[in-house]
Amino acid sequence: MDLFAAMAADIVQTLHGVTDVRPANLLGVLLDRIRAWQRFMDRGGDGVLGAEAEIGLLGELVLIGKLVDAGVAGLTVCEGWEGPRDGVQDFRWRSGAMEVKTSSAPLGSFPARIGSIDQLDDTNVQPLFLAAVRVTEVESGRTLPEWVAGVRERLVGQDAALGTFNDRVLQGGYSDAQADRYTRRFEVRDVRIFTVNQVFPRLTRSTVPGGITEARYQMDLDLVRVPATDLPTALSRIGVL
Helices 51-69 and 159-171, packing angle to 10 deg: 160
pLDDT in tens, the chain (241 residues): 777 888 888 888 888 777 766 777 788 888 888 888 888 887 777 789 999 999 999 999 999 999 999 999 999 999 999 999 999 999 999 999 999 999 999 888 999 999 999 999 999 899 999 999 999 999 999 999 999 999 999 999 998 899 999 999 999 999 998 999 999 999 999 999 999 999 999 999 999 998 999 999 999 999 999 999 999 999 999 999 8
What global pTM score does this model have? 0.88
**Residue 220 parent element (H or E):** strand 217-220
Model pLDDT, residue 5 = 82
CA distance 225 to 48: 37
174 dihedral zone (left: phi>0; alpha: psi -120 to 50; beta): beta
Model pLDDT, residue 27 = 86
Helices 51-69 and 144-154, packing angle to 10 deg: 20
Model pLDDT, residue 20 = 67
